[in-house]
Structure 1
Amino acid sequence: MAKLKAPLLSLGASGAIGKSLVFFPWKGIDAVREYVIPTNPKSTKQQAQRNLLTAALAEFHATGYDEDDMTAWALFASTFPTPRTGFNAMVRAHIMQALGDGTWWRMHDVFPDPLAGGGATVTCQTTETVPAMIGCRYGYSKTSMPNSVGAASIEDGLATWTIPDLTEGKEVYLFLSQQPVTYKGKTFYQGRTGVYHYTALAPA
């Protein structure tokens, strides 16, 4: 519907009339142009993009991340060169693995429990059932976690890892992940967490 500021075409109008004419101010001039119908407002590519986003949003809400999980996603988000939220980082991770033909495996309620000697027992809830399929990567930087250990067990949806002894007093960063897929030459995981951390304890 066009909104008139005075009689039509005398002072100004904005909006559309019958999807045939569009009125708008342009550089101080009251302009009018033909209404153009998009050639394909629901293309296959657009629909695919919407479906990817819908699936990622559904997974985010269904998982029910707790406060610690969201803090970890926020820390992961801070590793990117451009600002983003933890929510954005999780949604992106889900979409990118889907583009690589991955299947997302849920991991949440992560708890790193520091052990004497610098290691830790890490647990999380997961939909994965095979311990060998999920790993824990860890290191001394939120952007570099070169070490990894496989899950020791999964019982009733609770997976457990044991990080070996590390240097006392160091901050240890970690994330959990399923198997990787590749999309446009980059690696993404079929399910992952944000980045958690703990301080390595002294030997007993």
Structure 2
Amino acid sequence: MTARIVPDGALRQPAVVAHGRVVITGGSGARLHEEVIAAGGLIEGGKLSVAKKEEVEGWLAAATDDLPPESVRAELTALWPDNLDARLSRALNTQAGRRFRSLQTLLAKRCEEEVDGMRAVLEDLGRSIQDRLDDTGHWQQESLFDVDDERRQLRADREALQERLRRLPQLLETETDALRRRWADPAPRWFPVSVTFLVPRSLAATARQENR
């Protein structure tokens, strides 16, 4: 928990912003997406009035690195347990839910992109194997010494490539199923990260004068 001073042009009364980490996992528990979100609002009469996402982003962009006086920080911190905590947690949870819903189409698109990419790799591998098998000059080459071991190795290599080519369709199906399971049923979780009180510069200046 910290506090920052904000120019009066950006904020006329104290506000509070919470940051949370959103993690989206798939059906197999794999981490599909992660980002930090923010939610907050104005402190009016000691209570939180939730603000729009754009307003919160504007306050954070305008915030300086200056700390407000200790007396202001103590007064705002005292409001946290009873008046701000639960309301801000609900606001952050709402923001996490909205962000998840906005990402569902993107997550589905990423799944298809991974499937298409995997298919392209395996199809390219299949073409490479087939080209190698079609290279009759390679398979019909004769050893200068006509050694049986060399002919057997060449035959074994060819059979191994043929078996690998035969197994590619099954591998393609298996890998596709695995990727779709990884991206299936995405679910969001969020964790609190930090809380920042934002104090207008004029309010901070008044508090300093009163403390002298």
TM-score under structure 1 length normalisation: 0.20
Highest Rg: 1 or 2? 2
More RCO (CA 8 Å, sep 6+): 2
Q: Which one has the bigger strand percentage?
A: 1
- Bigger proportion of residues as helix: 2
